[in-house]
Structure 1
Amino acid sequence: MCTYLKNMANYKHSHLKNKSFEEIQMLFNNTLKWIESFVPMDTELVKGSEKVAKGCSKRATYKLEQEDAKRQRIEEENESVE
């Protein structure tokens, strides 16, 4: 377990030296859960989230463009008044 924690979770010997077996086992279980919950980038779950992110960025870009156009109109109106 200690070797696994050193290699996979970047724990040092000094971190694990003063811990009890139960504490090391808890760290091991947490690290194992973290590694098992990893989702590769080419899976369907990740591809679905990319579509959502693209839609959000399109809306955000559209909103920014509208704000820029509004700001330009206001500046032009202020210049024409002066």
Structure 2
Amino acid sequence: QRVKRRLGQERYDKISTLMDAALKTQEEQGDTSDHEGWINELLADYYDPMCEYQLGKQADKIIYRGSYDEVLEWAKERSLL
């Protein structure tokens, strides 16, 4: 119910439909590749915004942001690794 409330009915229905179709394909054909679609949608529409919100609450504690390689280089430059 929490996911449904945060996504809204339209996005929830879309993801639910994708998931149901993926489960049907998996059951009938043994193919799990269709799960990627609903998982990507859920990550983009639910988890990414939630993570951004949580990071925003901690913004004053973040000293550097970047890709994995950028953070690694930043840490090396400061002899943190």
Mark yes or no: TM-score above 0.5: no
> If the length of structure 1 is used for normalisation, what is the TM-score?
0.34
Report the structure number with the largest CA radius of gyration. Answer: 1
> If the length of structure 2 is used for normalisation, what is the TM-score?
0.34
